[in-house]
C-alpha cells in the first residue's frame, strides 16, 4: 500500500511519524497503542504518546486506518479498512481477517431489518488449527 499517496488523497501531509505509524500497524496486523508506542520509541526516542494518539485519531477519522473493538482486548488498529469479519482464536488470541467476499452480509441484514446499516463489526471466536 502506498501510504504517501493515501495520505495525500485524504489531504494530509506524509510526515515521518505518520508513515512510521502506518507501517507499524501494517506489519502488526492488529496492534494496540502500547505496541505501536514501544516500536516507535525505538526509532524516534523523543516521540510522545500524545503524538501517537493524535495521529491515530486523525488517521481513523480520515478512513486511512480502522479501530478494532473486540471485547476483552485492548483497543487496536489495522490498515484493512474494508468491512470484514474478525476470526479470533479463543486460546492464542490471534486475529485473522476474513473478507465478506461473495457473501453480501450487509445487503442480507438490511433486507431483514428493512433499514440501512452504517457499520458492521463481526467478531467470531473459534479455535485455530494450532490450538485445536
Assign residue 111 the CATH number of its domain: 3.30.1490.190
The band of 125, judged by pLDDT with boundaries at 50, 70 and 90, is very high
The percentage of the chain sitting over the pLDDT mark of 70, rounded to a whole number, equals: 98
In this prediction the pTM is: 0.84
Residue 131 lies in a domain: no
Q: Can you list the positions of beta strands (E) in the chain?
A: 31-32, 66-68, 76-78, 84-89, 95-99, 122-126
Indicate if the pLDDT at residue 95 is higher than 80: yes
Residue 65 lies in a domain: yes
Number of domains in the chain: 2
Question: Average pLDDT, stretch 31-46?
Answer: 95
Q: Provide the pLDDT for residue 66.
A: 94
Q: For residue 115, what are the contacts with CB-CB under 8 A and spacing of at least 6?
A: none
Rounded Cα gap, residues 12 and 62, in angstroms:
9
DSSP three-state, residue 43:
helix
| Residue 102 and residue 72 share a domain | no
DSSP three-state, residue 32:
strand
Please give the residue range of the domain that contains residue 23: 3-78
Residue 43 lies in a domain: yes
Q: Provide the pLDDT for residue 102.
A: 54
Indicate if the pLDDT at residue 57 is higher than 60: yes
Rounded Cα gap, residues 126 and 109, in angstroms:
23
| Residue 65 and residue 28 share a domain | yes
| Residue 73 and residue 94 share a domain | no
Q: Provide the pLDDT for residue 103.
A: 61
Amino acid at each position: 500500500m502506498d501510504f504517501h499517496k493515501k495520505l495525500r488523497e485524504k489531504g494530509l501531509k506524509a510526515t515521518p511519524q505518520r508513515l512510521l505509524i502506518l507501517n507499524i500497524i501494517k506489519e502488526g496486523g492488529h496492534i494496540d497503542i502500547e505496541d505501536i508506542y514501544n516500536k516507535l520509541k525505538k526509532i524516534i526516542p523523543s516521540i510522545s504518546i500524545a503524538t501517537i494518539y493524535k495521529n491515530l485519531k486523525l488517521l481513523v477519522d480520515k478512513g486511512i486506518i480502522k479501530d478494532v473493538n473486540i471485547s476483552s482486548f485492548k483497543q487496536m488498529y489495522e490498515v484493512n479498512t474494508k468491512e470484514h469479519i474478525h476470526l479470533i482464536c479463543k486460546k492464542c488470541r490471534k486475529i485473522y481477517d476474513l473478507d465478506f467476499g461473495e457473501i453480501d452480509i450487509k445487503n442480507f441484514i438490511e433486507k431483514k431489518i428493512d433499514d440501512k446499516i452504517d457499520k458492521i463489526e463481526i467478531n467470531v471466536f473459534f479455535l485455530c488449527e494450532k490450538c485445536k
